[in-house]
Amino acid sequence: MHRRPRAVPSRSLVLSSETAPRATVSSTGGFVISARPAQEFGDNPVEVRETGHYTEEYVPSFVEKWDALIDWEKRAESEGNFFIDLLRKRGVRSVLDVATGTGFHSVRLLEAGFETVSADGSADMLAMAFENGMKHGDHILRVVQADWRWLNRDVHGEYDAIVCLGNSFTHLFSERDRRKALAEFYAMLKHDGILILDQRNYDAILDRGYSSKHTYYYCGEDVAVEPEYVDEGLCRMRYRFPDSVYHLNMFPLRKDYTRRLMSEVGFQRVETYGDFQHTYRDEQPDFFVHIAEKEYRMEDQEEGGYGGAVNTARSYYNSPDADAFYSSVWGGEDIHVGVYTGDEEPIADASRRTVEQMAEGLGLTEDSVVLDLGSGFGGSARYLADTYGCRVRALNLSEVENQRHRELNSVRGLTDRIEVVDGSFEDIPFPANSVDVVWSQDAFLHSGDRLRVLEEIRRVLKPGGRLVFTDPMAADGTSLADIQPILDRIHLDDMGSPGFYTRELTRLGFVAQQHKGAEGGFEDLREQLVTHYGRVLQETERQEAEGLGQKVSSDYLTQMKKGLTHWVEGGRARRLTWGIFRFTLA
């Protein structure tokens, strides 16, 4: 039986016909109306960085103008049924609106038939929301004043969904408060509940300055909204009306930081939209919308589930930053370590040389079937299909990369030779003994169970089939402590090594193939790893000077350059290595 949420406000709302009322709590628990002065930020407004100060910023005169800022009709038109459809699709019935404001979303949710409880930290906002509920459809809002950090104290029950909209989460200035609030949201959700939280695109504001399409969120006319002051710890927004000016001090949340906090608090999956669009590669959105799932799902391979390290890699390579970076900097079609003939050689040329050298001696023909694991943008698959006429099954976990892969195949007229499949190499969706060659480039490091990957490869290969792959690895004998910065960067507990792969492949019945003097089935090309990551770092810095930051966030580029440096240093110190493995299944 569906349990109806209980949300019994500990304070009853007493409405008044007075203009610009202030609702304060009396000793008896009711709301009392009184006057309140204008906003106060003290002598140095940019030093006001306290979570609780927002209640003083929403003074009655500002609250009265809030609906003019939003423009309910235009907001509803631009937003459409995005949230309504999303909630219905997930079977939601009960919703807690924790950032009610003047009630726009609470009223829309009630109109759509959702059981809705409306909470906010500002009593003045709740008073206006209550009035708006009556004005827009005679809805009696169930309101409760609550601080997110102690939400379970003031609001009771469990909900199918919690919505925290209107850029409200940026009112929390300390990470402790943000974690506490997210934990309270998590606790109030049912086991399969979802949190929907939006935020401004502060990455763009911090990295490139403020711009806005002024389309989706603040639609009111004769209202100017822009930041008056910005640093990494404060975005002071100015709201200029024809007859008055107001300010809000907010913390400029970066998108990936918010996603990370959600995951660390316990949410299992976080999906991010830009201005209500799933992908937003071509332009910077004004707002991000995060949908975080509470439900813990055991990995269900029949439904294409991903787990652990694989899911982390999928989220990373599906991100707009990664997509833009790898296509612009890493080599275009080939996004793996290259084999260089000189330190200044173009990355794309060296990356293609890796493909050519790996293909040597495989004996590919038009009858051959190649399985490319972790195929990325498909450069290797197109080279093999075009050069040898073979058929290629390209398995890759990033839907974003796979879409680009399919588009490039179509342009090259290779759609009939290459099958692009969404999936994980930890559970290969092909029959046993069905492929002649398994091929992979720099992908296995992303697995949390590399032995399982090798077992799957043995299963799908025909007897006598060939395995050729590369992987960035720890050098044999390297301790985890020595490569911890790398592991932290790629969110892994460990890495493979030449000894690990050679030992386990031999145990599984593979036989090492000799190639140009390389012994034991492994051609050690450590120096190429150092050269490649150094070249990618140089290219990143060159393109950054020419405007790469217009396509890739500053935070992403900073972390990427730091990570590339770790790879170069690790390679030079002989703690990391890379090379080509060649084995045959006996």
CATH ID of 71-208+254-297, from 3.40.50.150, 3.40.50.720, 3.10.20.30, 3.40.50.970? 3.40.50.150
Distance CA 519, CA 574 (A): 19
| Residue 361 neighbours by CB distance under 10 Å | 14
Q: N- to C-terminal Cα distance for the chain?
A: 58
pLDDT value, residue 517: 64
Calculate ∠ Cα 489-568-349, nearest 5°: 105
b/e 308-346 (16+ beta carbons within 10 angstroms → b): ebbbbbbbbbbbbbbbbbbbebbbbbbbbbbbbeeeeee
The number of angstroms, rounded, from the C-alpha of 145 to the middle of its chain's C-alpha atoms is 32
Q: For the purposes of burial, counting CB atoms within 10 Å of the CB of 281, is it exposed (0-12), middle (13-18) or buried (19 or more)?
A: middle
Q: For the purposes of burial, counting CB atoms within 10 Å of the CB of 571, is it exposed (0-12), middle (13-18) or buried (19 or more)?
A: buried
Average pLDDT of adjacent 10-residue blocks, the chain of 586 residues: 36 33 39 59 90 85 83 80 92 96 95 96 92 93 95 95 95 95 97 95 81 55 85 91 90 88 88 64 71 74 50 70 80 86 90 95 96 94 97 91 91 95 91 97 89 94 97 91 84 85 94 82 96 93 88 85 93 96 96
223 three-class SS: coil
Distance CA 172, CA 261 (A): 13
The residues that bridge with 241 in the sheet, in sequence order, are 244
Distance CA 276, CA 86 (A): 11
Task: Answer whether 71-208+254-297 and 313-585 agree in fold.
Answer: yes
Amino acid present at 512? A
pLDDT value, residue 264: 86
Contact residues for 499 (Cβ-Cβ < 8 A; gap 6+): 476
Q: For the purposes of burial, counting CB atoms within 10 Å of the CB of 508, is it exposed (0-12), middle (13-18) or buried (19 or more)?
A: middle
Distance CA 492, CA 28 (A): 55
> How many distinct helices (H) and strands (E) make up the chain?
20, 22
Amino acid present at 246? Y
Phi-psi region of 447 (alpha: psi -120 to 50; beta: other; left: phi over 0): beta
183 three-class SS: helix
Distance CA 225, CA 228 (A): 9
Amino acid present at 44? N
Distance CA 120, CA 99 (A): 5
Residue 204's alpha-carbon distances to 227, 542, 552, 559, 562, in angstroms, are 12, 20, 10, 16, 21
Residues 8 and 163 sit within 8 Å (Cβ to Cβ): no
Distance CA 469, CA 525 (A): 13
Residues 15 and 128 sit within 8 Å (Cβ to Cβ): no
**Residue 305 has which token pair?**
């589930």
What are the residue ranges spanned by the domains of the chain?
A: 71-208+254-297, 313-585
Residues 352 and 343 sit within 8 Å (Cβ to Cβ): no
| Residue 215 neighbours by CB distance under 10 Å | 11
pLDDT value, residue 27: 36
Fold annotation for 313-585: Rossmann fold (3.40.50)
pLDDT value, residue 383: 97
pLDDT value, residue 207: 76
b/e 374-413 (16+ beta carbons within 10 angstroms → b): bbbbbbbbbbbbeebebbbbbbbbbebbbebbbebbeeee
pLDDT value, residue 218: 57
Q: Which stretches of 415-555 are assigned E, i.e. beta strand?
A: 418-422, 435-441, 461-470, 473-474, 510-512, 522-524
**pTM greater than 0.85 (yes/no):** no
pLDDT value, residue 7: 38
